[in-house]
Amino acid sequence: MLPIKPLFIQESNLGLRLFLGLVLVGTLLLADLRYSGLATVRSAIDTALTPIYLIADIPSAIGDWQDNTLRSRQRLLEDNDRLRRENLVLQGRSQQLASLQADNARLRTLLNSTALLRDDVLVSEIIGVSPDPLRHQLVLDKGAEADVYLGQPLIDAQGLMGQVVEVGMTTSRVLLVTDPTHSVPVQVNRNGVRAVAEGMGSLDQLAVHHVTATTDIQAGDLLVTSGLGGRFPIGYPVAIVSAVERNPGEAFARIEATPTAALDRARHVLLVFSQLPDIEPELDPGEEPLE
Amino acid sequence: MSEQVHGYWIIVASLLLAAVLAVLPLTRVLLWWRPEWILLVLLYWTIALPHRVGLVTALVVGLLADVMEGAVLGQNMLCLAVVVTLARLMYQRLRVFSLLQQASVIFVLAGLHQLITQWLQSLQGGGASGFVFLFPALSTALLWPLVMPVLRELRRSYKVN
């Protein structure tokens, strides 16, 4: 016998249920906006959702695979040739690096400032981008298992991309420098003028606010991380100033900059493990320092 | 009256597929036109099986969507809860509508979804300028006449109840 499907189901408590639901949602909203105690819940759910990111990534993975396997011999040879030449140039440039680094460290000790240590990097792959056009976030395929930590900077070959805002077991979420909620302390590479570059919600634009009209900053200037605030290591390129507008009627100049990193094209990115330079090696008392 | 749960996995599978489509990388031009896949599928099941899919499903799915989108927890929950409750109130009328009439109702519901999202985002200092935030509502409504028959066919052939 077929069960009779009710055409009108009992709806006596629909309003009450919606009310209870809204109370729950309101609590969550407040908790997430005001306090950050829900980070563990979020990363647990994110870890569970990893398969969804991986499945959504299949089309781009297939594209990569095609690129790798169906490439003609001719193009491979060309690529190889080009990369070899590039490698030669880079090696040539890095020959002096060791002595320059030692030089730099010596000068810094003379000036009594802390030494700059080299940063280690971890190559990571982007497996997801935020579906919301206003939220510039990426999902990476490395998480807590690879020692990714909250606030870790992310770069690509051209410059700073953003920082890690959420760490799951095998994935992590990165906030890009262009997100409206993101700001990064920068300085002009030419003269060291400090400023703060803020995201505007557009992938090819950053804004530099609160720079007085008389500050020496002009179109074409390279903005690099200043290291202030302690979150980003010093010296990574962030953006190139694209427009400076000085209006006599306004207190500050209007400055726009273009991020140097390929924010919407890169697939492989680097997570930077910046070693904190303020850790002194401990020496046994009475023993002569080695150097 | 005993109602047997049957083919529940079809509902879960369709929602998972919607989730994948919702995070699928798109080019920048299409980004503003991404339909609200999760909302679309959830609305179908609410209208077709209101005794199975409702507020609780909306809240659970919303929570997962919030984490997936990196939105503030509760954003999708709120939108989906409100829209699903509205659909629940008028599912009897919706069932007898033609596909086009249904699509126009879906447009209003998806528009409301987008509006609440927009409010919550501007609370945090973001938010789109202009009416660009309504584009997804339009694409969601346009997809309804395509998606709805597919889901209905699935529901019938697997006797989802």
Regions of chain A with pLDDT less than 70 = 1-12, 112-118, 275-291
What is chain B's mean pLDDT, rounded? 89
Say if B73 is an interface residue toward chain A (CB within 8 Å).
yes
Question: Across-strand partners of A154?
Answer: A162, A271
Instruction: For the beta carbon of residue A241, count every other beta carbon within 10 angstroms.
Output: 21
Which B residues, 102 through 131, put their C-beta within 8 Å of a C-beta on chain A? 120-121, 123-128
Could you please report the per-residue DSSP string of B77-128?
A: HHHHHHHHHHHHHTHHHHHHS-HHHHHHHHHHHHHHHHHHHHHHHHHTT---
Query: Under a CB-based contact definition with an 8 Å cutoff, are residues A225 and A160 in contact?
Result: yes
Q: How many helices (H) and strands (E) does chain A have?
A: 6, 12
Contacts of B81 in chain A (CB under 8 A): 18, 21-22, 25
CATH topology of domain A183-263: Thrombin, subunit H (2.40.10)
What number of CA atoms fall less than 13 Å from residue B51's CA on the CB side? Answer: 13
Beta bridge partners of A153: A163
Instruction: Render pLDDT for B37-59 as a digit per residue (tens, 0 to 9).
Output: 999 999 999 999 988 888 999 99
> Given an 8 Å threshold on Cβ–Cβ distance, is B127 in contact with A49?
no
Q: Write out pLDDT tens, residues B53-111.
A: 889 999 999 999 998 888 888 899 999 999 999 999 889 899 999 999 999 999 999 99
ipTM of the complex: 0.81
User: Which pLDDT value is given to residue A81?
Assistant: 93
Question: How far is A186 from chain B, CA to nearest CA, in Å?
Answer: 22
Instruction: Name the residue facing B74 among A9, A25, A46 (closest C-beta).
Output: A25
Domain ranges of chain B: 8-157
Chain B neighbors of A60, CB-CB under 8 A: 25
B4 lies within 8 A of chain A by CB: yes
Domain ranges of chain A: 19-48, 183-263
Residue of A nearest to B123 (CA): A33
CA A63 – CA A187 distance, rounded (Å): 39
pLDDT at res. A115: 52
Q: Is residue B52 less than 8 Å (CB to CB) from chain A?
A: no
pLDDT digits (tens, 9 = 90+) for A160-218: 999 999 888 888 999 999 998 899 999 999 998 999 999 988 889 999 988 888 889 99
Higher-confidence residue: A228 or B125?
A228
Question: How would residue B23 be classed by pLDDT, with cut points 50, 70 and 90?
Answer: confident
Q: What is the pLDDT of residue B72?
A: 86
